[in-house]
Amino acid sequence: MPSIVQLYREARRRKVFRTAALYVLGSWAALQVADVLFPGFGIPETAIQALVWTAALGFPVALIFGWLFDIGQGGIRRTPPPSAAETAEPRPLGSRDYALLGAFLVIAAVLVFRAVQEVRQVPVEAASQVAATSVKEDSRLPNSIAVLPFTNISSDPDNEYFCDGISEEILNEISMVRPLNVIGRTSSFAFKGSSLGIDKISATLGVRYVLQGSVRKAEQRLRISAQLLDERGRQIWAQTFDRELANVFDIQQEIARSVANMVTPICMAPRAGDPSRRRGF
């Protein structure tokens, strides 16, 4: 028991508890910052586990450093032995002290390097797992298509209604083709203005094809462009329609029927490796 009390007093004299407290507070602050910033940079929260392990491994190193050295106005000094007077000044560093400090520096650098490597590796491993899962099991429906809201690329904000209208007309026309699996308006229109790639959108909606387009208005002329892309974002069909701005509803219906007639055979065509092709559908 006396030895424990003596060890406690010596640790307090060497300010080990202060070093431990500062280390814990610094580690906690670093983890809080990582918890806030990591999602913004696309780093999964599981990467924080690497920082937690790094902080845990560095804690004994911080305690040993606090036992051997003092940090004050004069810089880093060697803590005087317990036999010295309490008012004794810390001893200047010798060659052994510099060797110990070098060892501490190397250990700290290794811990930081490993933490950075693990944090960088987590997104790569996560992406590999997602890719492996996609290759293993493709959950996309056969003969499936999603119609995204057409983009208004003119300066007239009122043209936005025409863009949504033509997208909905195309969706209605394609939905009449019974063998097609058409994603509903609520799901597909949720990606309006989204910066996600077509591959991510098709994977989220579970479709093989995505139809998108744009509308440009110049005075009394309209130019509507439509593109059909596969699940990898590759364009397999595109067409541009130039029309005079007369009856808006007639234009929407005409272009919707034209797009539906051109897109439907492509979406219905069997593809290599498609289960529906092997079953004779």
pLDDT band, very low/low/confident/very high, at 262 (cuts 50, 70, 90): confident
- pLDDT score for 134: 47
pLDDT band at 280 (very low <50, low <70, confident <90, very high): very low
Residues 239 and 259 in one domain: yes
Range of the domain at 132: 2-82+90-136
What's the pLDDT at 278? 36
As a whole number, mean pLDDT of residues 33-58 equals 73
- Residue 109 clears pLDDT 60, i.e. is over it: yes
Task: Look at residue 55 and tell me if it is in a domain.
Answer: yes
Residue 12 class from Cβ within 10 Å (0-12 exposed, 13-18 middle, 19+ buried)? exposed
Query: Each residue of 184-215: pLDDT tens digit?
Result: 888 888 888 888 888 888 888 888 899 999 98
Do 195 and 263 lie in a common domain? yes
40 C-beta neighbours (distance < 10 Å), count: 7
9 and 128 together in one domain: yes
Q: Does residue 259 form part of some domain?
A: yes
Q: Which two tokens stand for residue 27?
A: 């580690």
Name every residue whose Cβ is closer than 8 Å to that of residue 268 and which is 6 or more positions away in sequence. Answer: 143, 177, 179, 180
Domain count, the chain: 2
Q: 136, 152, 170: which is the final residue of a domain?
A: 136
Interatomic CA distance for residues 185 and 168, integer angstroms: 7
Asked if residue 156 lies in contact with residue 239, where contact means CB atoms within 8 angstroms, the answer is no
DSSP code per residue over 88-113: PPPBPP-HHHHHHHHHHHHHHHHHHH
CATH number of the domain where residue 257 is located:
3.40.50.10070
Reported as a single tens digit per residue, the pLDDT across 147-158 is 999 998 888 777
| Res 5 pLDDT > 80 | no
- Is residue 66's pLDDT more than 70? yes
Instruction: Let me know whether 63 and 131 are in one domain.
Output: yes
Task: Say yes or no to pLDDT of 135 above 50.
Answer: no
95 falls within a domain: yes
Q: CA angle 203-208-209, nearest 5°?
A: 105
pLDDT at 94 (0 to 100): 64
Q: By the 8 A CB rule, do 211 and 147 touch?
A: yes
What is the secondary structure of 134-159 as a DSSP string?
HHH---PPTTEEEEPPPEE-SS-TTH
- Between residues 130 and 253, which one has the greater pLDDT? 253
Domain assignment present for residue 278? The answer is no
Q: pLDDT band at 44, cuts 50/70/90?
A: low
Q: Which residue has the higher pLDDT, 248 or 258?
A: 258
The band of 83, judged by pLDDT with boundaries at 50, 70 and 90, is low
Residue with tokens 């902080």: 55
Contact 74, 89 (CB under 8 A): no
Q: Is residue 104 part of a domain?
A: yes
Q: Quick one: 169 and 193 in the same domain?
A: yes
CA gap 17, 85 in Å, rounded: 21
* Helix axis angle, 2-13 to 16-37, nearest 10°: 60
pLDDT band at 93 (very low <50, low <70, confident <90, very high): low
Domain boundary among 104, 136, 168: 136
Beta bridge partners of 12: none
Confirm whether 17 is domain-assigned: yes
Looking at residue 81, the DSSP 8-state letter turns out to be: P
In this structure, are residues 196 and 210 in contact, taking their beta carbons and an 8 Å threshold? no
Q: How far apart (Å, rounded) are the C-alpha atoms in residues 77 and 94?
A: 10
**At which residue do the structure tokens 């308006």 appear?**
185
Instruction: End-to-end CA distance of the chain: give it in Å, rounded.
Output: 84
Alpha carbons 149 and 100: distance in angstroms, whole number: 65
Instruction: Please check whether residues 115 and 203 belong to one and the same domain.
Output: no
Residues 16, 63 contacting (CB under 8 angstroms): yes
User: Is the same domain home to 169 and 116?
Assistant: no
Residue 3 has phi, psi (to 5 degrees) of: -65, -35
DSSP letter at 221?
E
